[in-house]
Amino acid sequence: MSLSPLATPATAQPTLRRALTPWGSFAWGYSDVGADIFVGLGLVLGAAAGASNIAFLFAGLVYVCVGLAYTELAAAYPVAGGGQYFVLRGLGDIFGFIAGWAVLLDFTIDIVLFAWSCIDYLSKLMPQIAFTVHPWTHFLVVFSVIAGLATLNMIGVRESSAFNEIVSGLDVVSETAILFFGFLFAFRPEILVHTMTVNWPTPFNLMNGTSLAIISFVGLESISQAAQETQKPASVIPRTSISLILTILIFALAYSNLALGLQPWTPIPPDQHGHAQALWQYLGSEENNGAAVQVLASLIPYYGALAALYVPLLGAILLLISSNSGVFGSSRIAYAMSQSQLLPSMFQRVHPRFRTPAVSIAVFCGFALLELVFAALPSLSHGFKDVYARFFRGESGITFLGDLYAFGAAASYSFVFIALIALRFKEPETPRRFKIPFNIPIRYRGTRVEFPVIAVIGWLGITSILVFTLITHSIGRFAGPGWLICGLIAYVIYRRRKGLPAFGSQRRDWRKRQVQILKDAGELELMDEYLANVKRIDAERAGAKPA
């Protein structure tokens, strides 16, 4: 069998356009992860209280392991699909589907959750669209935002990438300014120590807070999902991924410690019962947890007056591009799954003019709109509100989205770590420009491979967060597995109709595909290195010296 590079047929179908620069790659990841702290900070403070920084620390360390795993895999396999593709290649078809379906849940919810929160932030400046006051107006505006983002992404990644790059740069500056002035003028270490000592949560609440904290780190895989549209991915992706990992980790830990140790320049209003509140309680209350970053910034001496004016607008814009990344990510996952015959072929159709997966964008934005309707119905219909409260133990529709968001992330990430280990053993010939540290060299089938210790640590961490989610979130405990079960039923029906193994895997020539992947990515040196490694390893396994 020849492993020479494949010729591209003259009648080849349109493919995804490589338009993302290094900053564009970073912006795609930041646009998804960077907005998470705007939603997650208040939720974690409300659950984990004085241990909120510990919850963020645990989730952050797991996130570092996840980020390192995605960086290695995306640089080695620069194709659309991200974690779903890695799991498919490492573990087989059905596990690839489960991982992809879990991520699709996350990204369709991403579209709704961040579009919803975007309008919540804008409502601080425009009360006419506040959900608590005008729910129908809020609903229609969010609906229009999702429809507009779908149109933007159908036009092409270059246009939506430029949008992300500008806003991501502005937000990095803004979040840095909030932290700088907050620690300079208002942070008191003794308040931090007092808060952690007096307000330490129960084990249940700490697990709840930790499961919510992972929400603040979801989205790094956007970089790997855009790998097929990134210029020189083997060298660009490691740089942008490591930069993003450090940026988000610093922001999350800094914001949580600032919130626990900040001395506000104005008195905190009492709660609805007239009781005095600490700052963390005020930020974690139902009234403020959706806009905790804005409230925190407004309470910083001197700087707070200015922040109260612009943070709602900038936060809304960043949340908008995070919703935009949900559109991008879901469509690219569906595109990749369809190419692997895990979803019907219509999801890999590329628009002949814009060269974007228009069908995938339309379908999964449609799913997002259905989720929006379900989340909004309790407030739009009093009759449905009673049914929803009884069925889901009184949790709000937006809480439903948050629960599933945490479940989908933890479920998919757990498979990625296993896939990383499997691919180290199955495909040692694949060049890895970036390799996660702390590996144990062993011999497998006559070839030297390196066992990744961090992958095991990361798997234990993310599995713990998945268990925390199932224990502490009633909706996530049932609706999350329900989404996977429904998806699996549809998958089995589709595969049987196509005459494909429902629980097994198709036979694929991964080596030939890898040559084509590296060729398409413009990584010709890596392609030559890969071919040389294949020849050497085949000779080792045959018991002969390579020529």
Q: How many residues does the chain have?
A: 547
**Which pLDDT belongs to residue 235?**
67
Is it the case that residue 135 has pLDDT exceeding 70? yes
Instruction: Please give the structure tokens belonging to residue 156.
Output: 């092409």
26 neighbors 191 (Cβ within 8 angstroms) = no
How would DSSP label each residue in 276-333?
A: ---HHHHHHSTTTGGGHHHHHHHTSTTHHHHHHHHHHHHHHHHHHHHHHHHHHHHHHH
**Which pLDDT belongs to residue 3?**
43
Is it the case that residue 165 has pLDDT exceeding 70? yes
How would DSSP label each residue in 78-134?
A: --TTTHHHHHHHHH-HHHHHHHHHHHHHHHHHHHHHHHHHHHHHHTTT-GGG-TTT-
446 backbone φψ class: left, alpha, beta (φ>0; ψ -120 to 50): left
CATH of domain 22-434+444-541: 1.20.1740.10
**Which pLDDT belongs to residue 223?**
65
| Helix (H) or strand (E) run with residue 188 in it | none
Residue 523 CA to its chain's centroid (Å): 27
Domain boundaries of the chain, sorted by first residue? 22-434+444-541
43 neighbors 289 (Cβ within 8 angstroms) = yes
**Neighbouring C-alpha atoms within 13 Å toward the C-beta of 393:** 9
> What pairing do the DSSP bridges indicate for beta strands 447-452 and 439-444?
antiparallel
423 neighbors 227 (Cβ within 8 angstroms) = no
Confidence (pTM)? 0.83
Q: What is the pLDDT of residues 387-418, one digit of tens each?
A: 555 555 445 556 677 777 888 888 889 999 99
363 neighbors 154 (Cβ within 8 angstroms) = no
**Which pLDDT belongs to residue 269?**
82
d(CA 386, CA 398): 16
Question: Could you tell me the pLDDT band of residue 245, with boundaries at 50, 70 and 90?
Answer: confident
Q: Which of 18-27, 127-136, 534-543 ranks highest by mean pLDDT? A: 534-543
d(CA 214, CA 211): 6
d(CA 164, CA 325): 9
**Which pLDDT belongs to residue 462?**
94
**Which pLDDT belongs to residue 130?**
77
Classify the C-alpha dihedral 342-344-345-349 as positive or negative.
Answer: negative
Q: What is the pLDDT of residues 270-303, one digit of tens each?
A: 876 777 788 888 888 777 777 788 889 989 999 9
Is it the case that residue 106 has pLDDT exceeding 80? yes
Greatest distance between any 2 Cα atoms in the chain: 82
424 neighbors 445 (Cβ within 8 angstroms) = no
Question: Could you tell me the pLDDT band of residue 159, with boundaries at 50, 70 and 90?
Answer: very low
Q: What is the pLDDT of residues 481-513, one digit of tens each?
A: 888 999 999 999 999 999 999 998 998 999 999
103 compared with 399, residue with greater pLDDT:
103
Q: What is the pLDDT of residues 323-357, one digit of tens each?
A: 887 888 888 788 878 888 999 988 888 777 777 78
Mean pLDDT of the chain: 83
**Which pLDDT belongs to residue 497?**
92
- Which residues neighbour 320 within 8 Å (Cβ) at sequence distance 6 or greater? 114, 115, 118, 145, 149, 167
Q: What is the pLDDT of residues 422-480, one digit of tens each?
A: 999 999 999 998 899 999 999 888 788 999 999 999 999 999 999 998 888 777 778 88
- Distances in whole angstroms, Cα of residue 490 to Cα of each of 75, 87, 368: 32, 19, 19
**Which pLDDT belongs to residue 54?**
96
Q: What is the pLDDT of residues 47-85, one digit of tens each?
A: 899 999 999 999 999 999 998 998 899 888 887 667 888
